């Protein structure tokens, strides 16, 4: 990212984003230097945002990081990566001296779709609960990136609301997972089967988090998802429904097995699965009783996510702030619930519940097929592999944005 900033400074002599954008417009059509600056800066932000194929650090980090750090990573830092992508493009590269809108849209939407699909598939096949939640963050980053990539004010407002709602829901789910770790010394879905029946309050909060992840109205995730779906339209709407349903279905499956003991006891998987057994609790010793303060944290976070969707005028205020932060002037965008958006939210929730029910009652039906094994092997843990994928992703981003530069 610093290399990209250096290239832009060499061209414009400026470091303020607005001034860089103005100077690029003065210098005329974009060339290879502008493209290189764009690719390098966005690569840094996409690594922070854990977009595929820059995402490999995220599941490994979540597996070992303390619960509060996981809450910050998935609830704040990844979202800041998405915000950075939007802000840098909108302020620096959206003018005549930046990259053509069609090329930026192609690059961001392609990476967004790839991220959502890979994240959702990998989320479903996890048994380590922290890694499961981490991959669901990757999938939702794909949805955020797809919305940003449409380059419309309506999608920008929707993604902003979606990010706010998702931050509360995901942080609450990690807080509940931390309670399981401190109580049972494990975050393994199979090892925890039926052991948390007494944690009724945590069970309710975990299930509510799963429903919020699916986009159940009136959660803020549902409002943001609704506005974004209306903005992107077409086949991409299906992506939003499926990705949110699959990730939420995985969370609800964990809730049914761990807190209710439903279905047959899960079978052991293959050698490439990462389990969550034998983890050290983050307290001095395993808790025999869960303090009220520990359950209050996810409750407050879920209440915040609900507030995003139900507080009158909040969506409009967020939309106004987003448009003020942009460079195109204020564009009046109406942010509100719509019947199609509510129906799509209910549809993704129903699909998530159905997937969870099938996974619990007939686990072999949705078990990982052999052809999914190569995708799981990519998460090798070898730094060299991740460096290679970083270079592949940077090259892919440049190739997707290259045609407009060649044309100019």
Which distant-in-sequence residues (6+ apart) come within 8 Å of 91 by Cβ?
Answer: 17, 18, 20, 21, 326, 327
Give the Cα separation of 101 and 242 in Å (integer). Answer: 27
pLDDT tens, N- to C-terminus, the chain (408 residues): 999 999 999 988 888 988 998 888 887 788 888 889 999 999 999 999 999 899 888 888 888 888 889 899 888 888 999 999 999 998 888 888 878 888 889 989 999 999 999 999 999 988 899 999 999 999 999 999 999 999 888 899 999 999 999 999 999 999 999 999 988 888 889 889 999 899 999 999 999 999 999 999 999 999 999 999 998 988 999 999 999 999 999 999 999 999 998 888 877 655 555 665 666 667 777 777 888 888 999 999 999 999 998 988 888 888 888 877 765 555 556 778 889 999 999 999 999 999 999 999 988 777 766 555 677 777 777 788 888 989 999 998 888 877 766 655
Angle, CA 342 vertex, CA 339 and CA 347 arms, to 5°: 125
Are 357 and 248 in contact by the 8 Å Cβ rule? The answer is no
- Tokens at residue 175, please? 């807080």
Are 135 and 122 in contact by the 8 Å Cβ rule? The answer is yes
Are 188 and 276 in contact by the 8 Å Cβ rule? The answer is yes
């Amino acid at each position: 990212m610093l290399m990209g900033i250096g290239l832009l400074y060499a061209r414009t002599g400026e470091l303020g984003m607005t001034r860089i954008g103005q100077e690029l417009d003065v210098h005329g059509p974009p060339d290879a230097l502008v493209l290189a600056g764009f690719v390098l800066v966005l690569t840094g932000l996409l690594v922070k945002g854990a977009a595929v194929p820059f995402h490999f650090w995220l599941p490994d980090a979540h597996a070992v990081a303390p619960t509060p750090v996981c809450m910050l990573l998935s609830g704040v830092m990844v979202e800041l990566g998405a915000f950075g992508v939007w802000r840098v493009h909108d302020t620096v590269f959206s003018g005549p001296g930046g990259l053509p809108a069609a090329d930026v849209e192609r690059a961001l939407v392609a990476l967004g779709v790839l991220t959502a699909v890979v994240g959702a598939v990998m989320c479903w096949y996890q048994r380590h609960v922290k890694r499961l939640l981490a991959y669901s963050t990757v999938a939702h980053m794909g949805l955020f990136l797809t919305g940003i990539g449409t380059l419309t004010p309506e999608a920008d407002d929707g993604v902003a609301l979606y990010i706010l709602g998702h931050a509360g829901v995901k942080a609450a789910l990690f807080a509940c997972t931390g309670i399981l770790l401190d109580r049972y010394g494990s975050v393994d879905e199979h090892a925890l089967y039926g052991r948390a029946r007494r944690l009724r309050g945590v069970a309710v909060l975990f299930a509510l988090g799963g429903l919020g992840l699916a986009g159940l109205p009136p959660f803020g995730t549902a409002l943001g998802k609704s506005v974004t779906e209306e903005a992107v339209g077409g086949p991409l709407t299906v992506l939003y429904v499926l990705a949110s349903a699959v990730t939420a279905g995985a969370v609800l499956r964990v809730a049914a097995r761990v807190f209710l003991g439903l279905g047959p006891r899960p079978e052991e998987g293959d050698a490439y699965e990462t389990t969550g057994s034998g983890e050290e609790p983050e307290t001095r010793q395993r808790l025999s009783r869960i303090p009220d303060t520990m359950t209050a944290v996810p409750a407050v976070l879920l209440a915040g996510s609900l507030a995003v969707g139900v507080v009158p005028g909040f969506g409009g205020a967020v939309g106004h702030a987003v448009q003020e932060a942009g460079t195109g002037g204020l564009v009046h965008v109406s942010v509100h619930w719509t019947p199609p958006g509510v129906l799509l939210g209910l549809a993704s929730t129903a699909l998530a519940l159905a997937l969870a029910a099938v996974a619990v009652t007939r686990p072999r039906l949705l078990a990982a097929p052999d052809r999914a094994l190569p995708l799981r092997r990519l998460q090798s843990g070898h730094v060299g592999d991740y460096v290679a994928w970083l270079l592949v992703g940077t090259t892919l981003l440049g190739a997707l944005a290259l045609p407009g530069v060649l044309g100019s």
